A and B are shown apart, each in its own frame.
Chain A
Amino acid sequence: MALHGITRADMAAVNLPRRKAVNRLMEGLTWLAAIVGVALLVIIVWSVARRAWGALNLDLFTKDQVLFAIGPVHQGLRNAFVGSLVLVGLATAMALPVGILIAIYLTEYARPWIRSSVSLVLDVLNGIPAIVVAIFVFGLFVVGHGQSGYAGAFALACLMLPLVARSVMEVLLLVPSSLREASLGLGVPRWRTVLAIVLPQAMGGIITGAVLAIARIAGETAPLLFTSSIVGTQISWDASHALQSIPVAIFELSESPDPADHSRAWAGAFVLLMFILLLSLSARWLAARSRRRISTSR
Chain B
Amino acid sequence: MSTIETSVRVQTTREPLPPRDRLERVFGVENLDAIYGSKPAVKGVTMDIYKNLVTAIIGPSGCGKSTYIRCLNRMNDLIPGFTQTGTIRYHGQDITGGDVDPVAVRRHIGMVFQRPNPFPKSVYDNVAWGAKVLGMKKDMDERVERALTQAALWDEVKDRLKSSALALSGGQQQRLCIARAIAVEPDVVLMDEPASALDPIATQAIEQLMHDLKSEYTFVIVTHNMQQAARVADMTAFFSISKGSEGRRWGELVEYDATEKIFTAPSDKRTEDYVTGRFG
Contact = CB atoms under 8 A, between A and B. Distances in A.
Given A181-B78, A196-B133, A186 B106 contact: yes
Interface string A187-198: 111101000110
Nearest to A113: B80
Interface stretch (B27-35, B49-57, B88-96, B112-120): B112-120
Contacts of A254: none
The size class of the interface chain A forms with chain B is: 20 to 34
A184 B113 contact: no
Contact of B166 (A183, A189, A197, A296): A296
Interface residues of B, number: 29
B108 interface: yes
Contacts of A139: none
Contact of A188 (B115, B133, B186): B133
Contacts of B110: 185-187
Nearest to B131: A186
Rank and list the top 5 A-B pairs by shortest CB-CB distance, nearest first.
A187-B107, A185-B111, A186-B130, A178-B117, A187-B106
B80 A111 contact: yes
Given A179-B119, A181-B117, A186 B78 contact: no
Interface stretch (B176-184, B245-253, B262-270): B176-184
B113 A178 contact: yes
A179 B129 CA distance: 13
Interface string A274-298: 0000000000000000000100111
A182 interface: yes
Nearest to A192: B133
Given A187-B184, A297-B120, A298-B115, A182 B133 contact: no
A190 to B, nearest CB: 7
Contacts of B8: none
A211 B216 CA distance: 51
A196 B73 CA distance: 22
Contacts of A187: 103-108, 110, 130, 134, 184, 186
Given A187-B103, A188-B130, A188-B133, A182 B75 contact: no
A197 to B, nearest CB: 6
Contacts of A196: 129, 133
Contacts of B184: 186-187
Nearest to A189: B103
Contacts of B130: 183, 186-188
Contacts of B81: 112
13 contacts: A112-B80, A181-B117, A182-B180, A184-B78, A184-B106, A185-B73, A187-B105, A187-B110, A188-B103, A188-B133, A293-B120, A296-B120, A298-B115
A182 B166 contact: no
A176 B117 contact: yes
A110 to B, nearest CB: 9
Interface in B172-195: 177, 180-181, 184, 186
Given A185-B75, A186-B181, 16 more contacts: A112-B80, A178-B115, A178-B117, A182-B118, A182-B180, A185-B73, A185-B106, A186-B110, A186-B133, A187-B103, A187-B110, A188-B134, A197-B119, A293-B120, A296-B120, A297-B166
Contacts of B133: 186, 188, 192, 196
Contacts of A185: 73, 75, 106, 110-111, 113, 181
Contacts of B78: 180-181, 184
B103 A179 contact: no
A175 B8 CA distance: 41
B101 to A, nearest CB: 9
Contact of B120 (A112, A184, A186, A201): A201
A260 to B, nearest CB: 55
Nearest to A184: B106
Given A176-B117, A293-B120, A182 B177 contact: yes
B103 A190 contact: yes
Nearest to A197: B119
